[in-house]
Structure 1
Amino acid sequence: MHHLLLIEDDVELARLVSDFLQAQGYQITSCGNTQKAKRLLLAHKFDLIVCDVMLPGSSGFDLVRQIRQQFKGPILFMTAQTSVGAQLEGLELGAQDYLLKPLDPRILLAKIKVFLSAAAQTPTVTVLQNHNLTVDRVSGHTSVAGQDICLTNAELQLLLALLDNYGVAISRERLFREQLGREYDGEDRTMDGRASRLRRKLQAVDPHWNIRVVWGQGYCISYAEATTADSTEHST
């Protein structure tokens, strides 16, 4: 049975969502603030988090910033904040989706099923290594040339998908379905932003890494071997 953490300060809404999801076979633990959420995360293993944004004390955004290295499962924001800026901030923090209230609980259930299913499809090889890039699928620990890099959960999932298909472009449509749980509408730039941030983090350590957009095909990760000029420069 999957164990979900619901962080929602609206007591009646939390009860309704909990009752609905429990009826669907999920174990639900709920709380109304980020301090208690952090204590629960230390005490229990959760498979997925559903989190409000506007919470007493500190926000759901603040919570995700603090736990993103600790918690590697899917995170769904569920909030009444409808601004594009708020939605982008939530997605950039590494959440799988940003759901707007009022929300039909059947939509929430569908999203939960998609992301839990994707999280369960973990390949047997747990540590990926390509050139000087190493990624542990389980812990999320990522390093380039022996130097640790800090990735959000969303960036980690994108990197794993690209490395699993090294040298082959992955379409936006596929990434939207598998990592955002929705169809690409032809305009959403969410995945572009994630690819750009991931590229900057890799290149900050080793500029030979690149994530590029292949026209008409999608995203592709590559590593440019050091040239003779590069070697000469580094040896002087």
Structure 2
Amino acid sequence: MRRILLAEDNDNLRELITDFLSEHGFEVDAAADGEEAWEAVQTKSYQIILLDVMMPGMDGFTLCKKIRERESVPVLFLTARVLEEDQLHGYELGADDYILKPFSLKVLLAKCRAVLERYQQGMPKEQKEGLVLDEERQQFLCGGSPVKLQSLDFRLLSYFYQNPNRILTREQIILKLWGYEYDGNDRSVDTHVKNLRKALGDYGRCIRTIVKKGYVFERNKKAEGLTAEEQEG
């Protein structure tokens, strides 16, 4: 199911939008302010995000900027602000469209579907189906959806991705990620590999354990699950 994040501080409007989009095939997570929405962005993947511009605490413009620094999910602003400079500012921050209040729920639904279709059409076939690196945005996509990774895990996956079908030892990985001065336990590598496998879901088995040697990355290898040995790293 397609998941939408809605950030809107008006209780009645938030409830109306949530109910309407839910009835039309979307799973909606609703937030009453920018901080709550930002927490949701950091814990879940969304296919589209709807932001009210004027919210208490973190406003929609600030939240959009933070989202764009993290991923490329479509963002639509819901706003009563009709000034041209406001709209231009939103587009500069990376918004995909504006929906001016008051609006028809049917129009909102149509715009959501249109934006999603544009994003899907703009993806190469391999981006829709496999694990790929969007080099422009420095972000991994898995089946077309952004993969949420901490900085070190992103660097590790990038190292694997750039060296497919090659055994990378724990020592090589430590030198790449931490450098020669690292004096910790090499089991730290295994911990980060487990993080990657969890984040990649069905594609977690792209990273294969080579007993007593290290790991091999096999692009777009997909399986139902990991063996007990691979889960342990």
TM-score when normalising by structure 1: 0.54
Instruction: Give the letter for the 1:66 counterpart.
Output: K
Q: Does the CA-based 8 Å contact 2:71-2:137 persist in structure 1? A: no
Instruction: Give the letter for the 1:124 counterpart.
Output: K
Q: Which runs of 5+ in 1 are unaligned?
A: 127-134, 143-236
Instruction: Give the letter for the 1:140 counterpart.
Output: R
TM-score when normalising by structure 2: 0.54
Instruction: Give the letter for the 1:65 counterpart.
Output: K
1:1-236 alignment runs, 5 A limit: 1-121=1-121, 122-124=123-125, 136-137=133-134, 140-141=137-138
Q: Distance in 1 between matches of 2:61 and 2:87?
A: 11
**SS of match in other structure, 1:9:** coil
Q: Distance in 1 between matches of 2:116 and 2:26?
A: 11
Residue 44 of structure 1: how far off its partner (Å)? 0.9
Q: Percent identity?
A: 36
Residue correspondences, number:
134
Instruction: Give the letter for the 2:30 counterpart.
Output: S
**Between Structure 1 and Structure 2, whose CA radius of gyration is higher?**
2
Residue 125 of structure 1: how far off its partner (Å)? 5.2
Q: Distance in 2 between matches of 1:137 and 1:118?
A: 17
Q: Distance in 2 between matches of 1:137 and 1:71?
A: 10
Q: Distance in 2 between matches of 1:139 and 1:38?
A: 23
Residue 136 of structure 1: how far off its partner (Å)? 4.3
The RMSD of aligned alpha carbons is 1.9
Q: Identify, as 1 or 2, the structure richer in helix.
A: 2
CA separation of 1:15 and 1:140: change in aligned 2, threshold 3 A: same
**SS of match in other structure, 2:72:** coil
Q: Distance in 2 between matches of 1:10 and 1:44?
A: 23
Q: Distance in 2 between matches of 1:91 and 1:68?
A: 11
Residue 106 of structure 1: how far off its partner (Å)? 0.9
